[in-house]
Amino acid sequence: MSKIFKVGLIGCGHISETYFRAEKYFNNIKIVKCADINFNNAKKCAKINKIKAVTVKELLKDKEIEIILNLTIPKAHYQVAKQALTNGKHVYSEKPLAINFKDGQELLRLSKKNKLYIGNAPDTFLGGGIQKSKELVDKKIIGKINLGSAIFAFPGVQSYHPNPEPWFAKKEGGPAIDMGPYYLTALVNLLGPAKKVSGSIVKGVKRRTIGIGPRKNKTFKVECPTTYLSTIIFENGTVIRLTLSFDVITHKRNHIELYGDKGSMIVPDPNMFGGSVYVCKKLGNPWTEYKTNKMPLGKINIRSQSSRANESAINANYRGAGLAEMAYCIENKKTHKCNGELSLHVLDIIDSMMKAAVTGILQNIKTKCKKPKRFTNQEIKKILRKNI
């Protein structure tokens, strides 16, 4: 039987509900206490989930807590993770690792110095959709992948988040920081590390209107670019054209398409765990569908709308898998899949993309990481509850 790690949650906002739900799926994590800079938020969260609310300082000093789950806003990720590591606790953060590369480097240095694990979302690449894609890519079903495209294009988080201002702030906002980690982590998982990146920006609507919650219809100022267009050159020679935008009302393009010398592949939404993979190996032929709905982390497990307004009513959502897999690796002294090296490399790409967009100069990626190995069914079963 796996050890159950006692987790302390910091940041009792919109995403926390998803991580509490993860306890139903995974056998080795238990959120026992929560904290928030706004203590009323912590008390509300504690009451709903029948746990104890404490201050942030108390939680960081609490000897019972083994892992800090950092669900704060992006600009606070660095400080909270740093405090967790300096207080002798492992830490798993929502994406991104930090909002600038230098801070990300410092967190990785601290974790190694203190011999502690640092994990980071997104963990969606552990799901059936990206893992089936990875299996087919590794088998060279479409041959050598030469190029491809990836797109996230949406009107903006203000439609589904009750406090969207941080996603449009000067140094922490924009789609590159918000959605870039999903797409780039999936691409690195499929293709390996990146080498160079170019970029350009588009500034869209200057004022946005909140679409949900107690502040609905309140407007706020946009202080950052809201569209990034980028070309990424990977170490293996693949070139990917990436679009990340909060300025598109709707579109009909696929999330990720990969083009090899023996065929083409449609990769499902990297923001979700499931979805089918499609492959076509000859012009005019029908696309072959590779379903993932019977894979351990691809099965439909959400059949009604959750409290997260941007979550599809029916989907596979196993957020928390990365936290559970990290806990298993702590216990068994293994390298976890949502590790600091991968997260720092993705942050490096984002940071370099943003610099390239401002300067117009092609940027070299400063870091490298190992191409992640497949998350096998045998590994997954070790962290899943038996009834899942």
Fold of the domain built from segment(s) 128-316+342-364: Dihydrodipicolinate Reductase; domain 2 (3.30.360)
Superfamily of domain 5-123+375-381: NAD(P)-binding Rossmann-like Domain (3.40.50.720)
Domain-wise residue ranges, the chain: 5-123+375-381, 128-316+342-364
Q: How far is CA 333 from CA 76, 326, 327, 346, in A?
A: 29, 10, 10, 24
For the segment 32-39, the average pLDDT, to the nearest whole number, is 97
Find all residues with CB under 8 Å of 201, minimum gap 6, and list them.
Answer: 225, 227, 228, 229, 357, 358
pLDDT number for residue 6: 98
CA angle 290–296–298, rounded 5-degree value: 50
How far is Cα of residue 171 from the mean position of the Cα atoms in its chain? 19
Per-residue pLDDT band at 313 (split at 50, 70, 90): low
For residue 259, how many other CB atoms are within 10 A of its CB? Answer: 17
Mean pLDDT of the chain, nearest integer: 94
Q: Compute the average pLDDT of residues 224-235.
A: 97
Residue scoring higher pLDDT (171 or 187): 187
pLDDT over 80 at 310, yes or no: no
CA distance 243 to 31: 36
What average pLDDT does the segment 183-195 reach? 98
Q: What is the mean pLDDT of residues 287-305?
A: 89
Six-digit token pair at 354?
């943003």
Looking only at the bridges linking them, the beta strands covering 288-290 and 363-364 are unpaired
CA distance to 149, 163, 227, 229, 258, per residue, from 254 (Å): 9, 29, 18, 16, 10
For the stretch 136-148, pLDDT in tens is 999 999 999 999 9
